[in-house]
Amino acid sequence: MNSITNELNWDTFQSINHQRRAIRDFCDKAISEDEIYAILTEAQFAPSSVNLQPYQFHWIRDSAKKAKIAEFCNGQKAAQTAAEIIVIVANTDFARDTIVEQLANIDRSTTMPDKSKDYHRKNLTKFDKILKIGGLPIWTPIVSLLSMLRPCLSLLPIGHLGSRHWAARNATFAAQTLMLSASAKGIDSCPMEGFSSAKLSKLLNLPRGAVIPVVIALGYRSETARVEEQSRRSLKTITIEH
């Protein structure tokens, strides 16, 4: 890629990134089905640990369900006025499904060298064990205790809480990619964590163990939508150079 293309890409990225704001009041304009599929398709390309993609996108198309979700999002205006709502659901079981799929792909591959096949099989099988055995609640008090002694161990994907945090953490990359994709299409969004997980999980019939890291409201900002001044900590404060 030449430097002119890079500069154009940078300008485009900046405008997409800066256009994405948390918008809490949407107008009546609908988002087409094709656009939602396009946005979800891009969100699929988000990075994830060992490429295990431990999440699903629940696109709420039913209007009665959508109204219920808005209610369960504490009646937030963003949810009430959203043209579309996507609930991001994370679950380590999805990661284990991905492992099964990836192992089958490796078996089928006629181009992957045997050495790479062995490496990926070993890695995936190891991770499957970590998620299956390491995710058991019995590890939770042990990890909690270890984290008290060594706080840097708090994010280990071990124990029933750690493994769910791991899945949720991965899912938020997809959530952000989804919002940036929407922004690239001129569609606004609002990520929300102000909701009742228990009520949402029941409504969506989520399996035990699934968690909802964030709900995303999508739409076009209304003319009167208040866009707050964007404040950020200084780069100096958040960048530590070693």
Residues forming contacts to ligand FMN in the complex (CB under 6 A) are 21-22, 24, 76, 78, 190-194, 214, 230
Q: Which is nearer to ligand FMN, 130 or 180 (CB)?
A: 180
Pairwise CA distance, residues 225 & 72, whole Å: 22
**Which strand ranges, in their side-by-side order, compose the sheet holding 55-59?**
55-59, 84-90, 211-219, 188-192
CA distance 204 to 58: 8
Nearer to ligand FMN, 76 or 163 (CB): 76
**Which residue minimizes CB distance to ligand FMN?**
194
Taking the complex as a whole, the smallest distance from the CB of residue 62 to ligand FMN amounts, in Å, to 22
Sheet strands (E) in the chain: 55-59, 84-90, 188-192, 211-219
SS3 state at 207: coil
In whole angstroms, how close is the CB of 185 to ligand FMN at the nearest point? 17
Q: Which is nearer to ligand FMN, 143 or 192 (CB)?
A: 192
> At its nearest, how many Å lie between ligand FMN and the CB of residue 137?
26
Q: State the DSSP H helix or E strand holding residue 203, giving kind and residue range, or none if neither.
A: helix 197-203
Least Å from the CB of residue 17 to ligand FMN: 10
Closer to ligand FMN by Cβ: residue 230 or 239: 230
Nearer to ligand FMN, 83 or 158 (CB): 83
- Tally Cβ neighbours within 10 Å of residue 169: 16
Distance CA 92, CA 2 (A): 41
Q: Could you give the C-alpha distances from 152 to 157, 158, 160, in angstroms and in order? A: 13, 14, 18
Residue among 118 and 193 whose Cβ is closer to ligand FMN: 193
- Shortest spacing between CB 114 and ligand FMN, in angstroms: 43
For the bound state, the minimum distance from the C-beta of residue 112 to ligand FMN, rounded and expressed in Å, comes to: 37
| SS3 category, 212 | strand
